[in-house]
Amino acid sequence: MLLPYLHPGIIEAGCDEAGRGCLAGAVYAAAVILPEDFRNELLNDSKQLTEKQRYALREIIEREATAWAIGIVSPEEIDKINILNASFLAMHRAIDQLTVRPEHLLIDGNRFTPYADIPHTTVVKGDGKYMAIAAASILAKTWRDDYMNRLHEEFPDYDWIHNKGYPTKKHRAAIAAHGATPYHRKSFHLLGDGQLSLDFS
């Protein structure tokens, strides 16, 4: 059973990201403030849910949340600042867009760059512990999946509709056969440990 909040009585936003370990595409983050009386038995870490469950919960979260927002950092930005900093920046961008200012941030993971003067708590595997982080994980995952599905239409050889940019055998085989796309992260080992040189020109 997920906990409703860490600090009852204050406005708390849960934050999580999706796409950190991918070879292609932007990293997405979400920030979600849930009402104090929000409850949903199905709500859980997005990785524990089916695709159908995630999208059903997304509708509920977007309808019932006090506030929610999505932050995006492009592949080009990831290559410039590295994926860890990009994950934090995506969360900052999501928080920037919240229509209600949180008084505390619940961050999934063990590290975070402080946001303005808002105190934060990092929670390892927080998407399986707190409702607001679980809600953020669902929004980040589904919004990013929608984005990768659109990119798949442009570059179908890479099977992004199934792998969402993660390093599957089929994805790496397509990179070896066709090269990298403009959406690939050039700073990542796109072909694995025994990487051959790729032409990014």
Q: Give the pLDDT confidence of 31-88 residue by residue, as tens digits.
A: 999 999 999 999 998 889 999 999 999 999 999 999 999 999 999 999 999 999 999 9
Global pTM value: 0.94
Cα R_g (the chain), whole angstroms: 17
Looking at residue 193, its pLDDT comes to 63
> Among residues 100, 104, 149, which one has the least CA distance to residue 14?
104
CA distance 56 to 149: 18
For residue 40, the SS3 value is coil
Phi-psi region of 180 (alpha: psi -120 to 50; beta: other; left: phi over 0): beta
pLDDT band at residue 201 using 50, 70 and 90 as cut-offs? very low
Looking at residue 199, its pLDDT comes to 52
CA distance 77 to 83: 9
Distance in angstroms between the alpha carbons of the first and the last residue of the chain:
50
Can you tell me the mean pLDDT for 104-124? 98
Looking at residue 197, its pLDDT comes to 47
**185: pLDDT strictly greater than 80:** yes
Average pLDDT, the chain: 94
Q: Which two tokens stand for residue 190?
A: 């796109």
The 10 Å Cβ neighbour count of residue 15 is 33
